[in-house]
Amino acid sequence: MKTLDSISALKGTHVVLVEGSKDIAALTSSGVSGDFVCVQSGGGPVRAAEAAWKAGKSAVILTDWDRRGNILADDLRTNLMALGVSYNTRIRDTLAFLCGPYAKDVESLDSVILHLEKSLLGMRGVGMGAIIVVEGIDGTGKSTLCARLAKVLAEEGYEVESTSEPTRGKVGGLIRSGAFEGVSQSTEALLFMADRNDHTERMAEAASEGKVVICDRYFASTLAYQSSGLDGGRADMDALLPLCEVFAKVPDLTILLDADPALTMGRVRSRGEDVSKFEEAGFLRRVREKYLALAEEHGFKVIDASMGPDEVFEAAMREIREVLRCIRRRRSTRRRARSSRGRG
């Protein structure tokens, strides 16, 4: 797990202030090496701060985050500040976040480490991988949302891969270049599908390595856009669906950002961007309807994109956390079943 690795990486340059000697034992047994200072056996926050000062190093505060731990962390901060020692609580905050649901029961860092090992470290190789797709008509804020989701999930310790369609690969590049301008909507759908074929393999591989893949547009884009009668031509949705089954993969979560084209087109124009052939109000209205019907049929999570970016982000994170929790639960149940079969 990244957070534990980054504690090891502090060795030599930082001292890590922990509450008790049991905490050092817990960290060491989890493979973390470091220059630890124990607050309890060292005589409290003042002595611990002095030890950091004497070592001439910056400090990381890694006490428990139960009520007592928070008071202790505050004391340490005050004393370190008085001695002019710089300190960092980011790692503490990250661990606190990961252990959020357990925080009220946490008595010692020991039990937290145990929990982390059980729920996260044990999944190395098995992978916490997931494919999360964000869909919506242009101007719903997909790109902004995807970038923010990727940043925050990475800060929380997930390995994240950001991607989008049309891709920047060979077929996607040709689509973007406009080389196929003027082809029918069915041909265009097949081109998007060909681009998707390679892309799906790459995404599945990343997910199997344990990465959380955030993908801006996927097969629902083809189903919604190419069957909505651009220039009077449309691909047959019933012909496209079986192709999706062959060349795409059902994502773990699809978020649909939904808003009225009157609003989204205004947003696109205010960005000063060129309006593409796809951005015509009547057409986009039909695309929106298709998207909403697909959402109903395939269980996409619909988020009202007329809300502010923070609210949209919070709503999307709630959905993602729920999905990641389910995946984690599913995998640990499977692991338990495997190991009990092994014993039996």
Binding site residues, ligand TYD, CB under 6 A:
138, 164-166, 192, 217, 221-222, 225-226, 276, 278
| CA angle, residues 91, 319, 157, in degrees to nearest 5 | 20
Which CB atom, from 161 or from 165, has the smaller least distance to ligand TYD?
165
Q: Least distance in Å: CB of 313 to ligand TYD? A: 18
Nearer Cβ to ligand TYD, position 212 or 284?
A: 284
Nearer to ligand TYD, 97 or 278 (CB): 278
Q: Per DSSP, what are the bridge partners of residue 14?
A: 58
The single-letter code of the amino acid at 308 is: G
DSSP for 275-303 reads PPTT--HHHHHHHHHHHHHHHHHHTPEEE
Nearest residue (CB) to ligand TYD, 71 versus 147: 147
Q: Is the dihedral of CA 316, 318, 323, 328 positive or negative?
A: positive
**H or E stretch at 182:** none
Cα Rg of the chain (Å, integer): 25
In which residue are the tokens 């344990």 written? Answer: 210
Nearest approach, Cβ of 217 to ligand TYD (angstroms)?
4
Are 192 and 223 within 8 A, CB to CB?
no
Cα(108)–Cα(91) distance, integer angstroms: 16
* Residue nearest to ligand TYD as judged by C-beta position: 225
* CB-based burial, 302-327: b 16+ in 10 Å, e otherwise: bbebeeeeeebbebbbebbeebbeeb
- Least spacing, CB of residue 115 vs ligand TYD, in Å: 39
CA–CA gap between residue 71 and residue 53 (Å, rounded)? 21
Q: How far is the CB of 108 from ligand TYD (least distance, A)?
A: 49
* CB closer to ligand TYD, 80 vs 215: 215
CA 212 to chain centre: 6
Distance of closest approach, residue 106 Cβ to ligand TYD, in angstroms: 43
Strand ranges (E), the chain? 14-18, 35-38, 58-61, 87-88, 130-136, 160-164, 212-216, 253-258, 301-304
Shortest spacing between CB 69 and ligand TYD, in angstroms: 45
Specify the residue, 57 or 290, whose C-beta has the smaller distance to ligand TYD. Answer: 290
Helix axis angle, 261-270 to 281-298, nearest 10°: 120
To the nearest whole angstrom, how small is the minimum distance from the Cβ of residue 23 to ligand TYD? 47
Distance CA 305, CA 284 (A): 15
User: Minimum Å distance from CB 182 to ligand TYD?
Assistant: 14
Q: Are residues 53 and 86 in contact, defined by beta-carbon separation less than 8 angstroms?
A: no
Amino acid at 115: H
87 vs 225, which CB is nearer to ligand TYD?
225
> For residues 65 and 225, which CB has a smaller minimum distance to ligand TYD in the complex?
225
In the complex with ligand TYD, the residue whose CB is nearer, 144 or 208, is 144
Nearest distance, CB of residue 230 and ligand TYD, angstroms? 8
